[in-house]
Amino acid sequence: MKRILTAIVALPIVLYTVWSPIPFFFVALAAVAAILALNEFYGLASKVACKPFVVIGILSCLMLIACFVFELPEWIIAVLAATLIVLLAAALSLANEMASSLASISSTMFGAVYVGLPCALLVGVRMIGDTSDTHHLASKLLTLFFALVMMTDTGAYYTGRAIGRHKLAPRVSPGKTVEGAIGGFAAALATGPLCRLIFFPELPLLDSVILGGAVSVLGQTGDLAESMLKRGSAVKDSSNLLPGHGGMLDRLDSILVAAPAIYFYSRYFILHR
C-alpha cells in the first residue's frame, strides 16, 4: 500500500514538471533527485571501505546539470576534468590516508558520472525548445521515456509473478526472472506505439518500437546493476527515504542507465525533422 501511495503522490509532480511551461521546475526536481541519489550511492560506497568526497561529488553533479541548463553540453569534459583535478588535490591534502585514496577518488568520480551525468542528460532533453512542426517536444519525449521505464518495470513485475520460472541473475537479484524480463521488454515495445497514438503523432512508428526496446533493455540492465551495488554493500535498499520504494537511487536505477538513449534520440529526432 505504501508503494502505491508514494507513486500516486510522485507521478503528478513529475508530470507537472515535465509539462509545465517553466522548464526550471524539472531542473530543480532533477537536481534534488540527483543529490539524494548520489548521497545514497556514496553511502553504499562507504560500506565497502571507500571514503568518497561527498561535497566534491555533489558539486560536480550540479555543474553537469548546469551545463545543460545553459545549453553548453560541450563543457561536460571540462567539468569532469576539473572534478578529477580537485579530487587529486583533496586526496593529496589527506596524505595520512593514502591507502584509501584510490578508492576515494574512484568512487567519487564514478558516482558523479553514474548519477549526475544521466540526470544532466534528462535536463538537456527538458531544455529543448519547440520546433516549427512539433509543439511540447521536450515534454513529449520525457513523458514517452518515463512511460517506457514505468511499463517495463510493471510488465516485468507482473509477468514474473504470473509465469516466472527461470532466474535471470540469481546472485544479483533472486526475484527477477527471464520471463519477467521478456514481459517487461514486450510491454515497452507496445508502450512506444501507444504513446505515439495518444500524444506523440510526430514520432515515427518504427522509432517508437526501437526506442521502446532500447529503453527497456537499458533500464533492466540499470536495475540489475544497482542491485549488484547494493548486494556488494550488503544492504537491501539504498535508503528508506521513500516508503515502499526504498531510496531515491532505487527509484532512479533504471532511469540512470536508460537516460542516454532518450537524450541522443532527441538530438536525432531534431536533426531529421
Of 272, 231, 273, 264, nearest to 250 by C-alpha is 231
Which pLDDT tens digit goes with each residue over 199-238? 999 999 999 999 999 999 999 999 999 999 999 999 988 9
User: What confidence score (pLDDT) does residue 99 get?
Assistant: 72
Cell of 176: 527477477
Angle between helices 101-111 and 24-46 (to 10 degrees): 150
User: What confidence score (pLDDT) does residue 119 get?
Assistant: 98
DSSP for 98-139 reads: GGGHHHHHHHHHHHIIIIIHHHHHHHHHHTPPPBTTBTTHHH
Q: Mean pLDDT, 10 residues at a time, over the chain (273 residues)? A: 62 95 97 98 94 97 98 97 96 78 95 98 95 85 97 95 95 94 98 97 97 98 96 90 84 97 95 80
> What is the pTM for the complete model shown?
0.94
Distance CA 182, CA 262 (A): 21
User: What confidence score (pLDDT) does residue 172 get?
Assistant: 93
Which pLDDT tens digit goes with each residue over 133-158? 778 999 999 999 999 999 999 999 99
User: What confidence score (pLDDT) does residue 135 get?
Assistant: 87
Quick check: 161 and 190 in contact, CB under 8 A? Answer: no
Distance CA 125, CA 119 (A): 10
User: What confidence score (pLDDT) does residue 96 get?
Assistant: 67
User: What confidence score (pLDDT) does residue 270 get?
Assistant: 87
Distance CA 33, CA 16 (A): 16
| Percent of the chain whose predicted confidence (pLDDT) is above 90 | 84
User: What confidence score (pLDDT) does residue 89 get?
Assistant: 95
Distance CA 91, CA 104 (A): 8
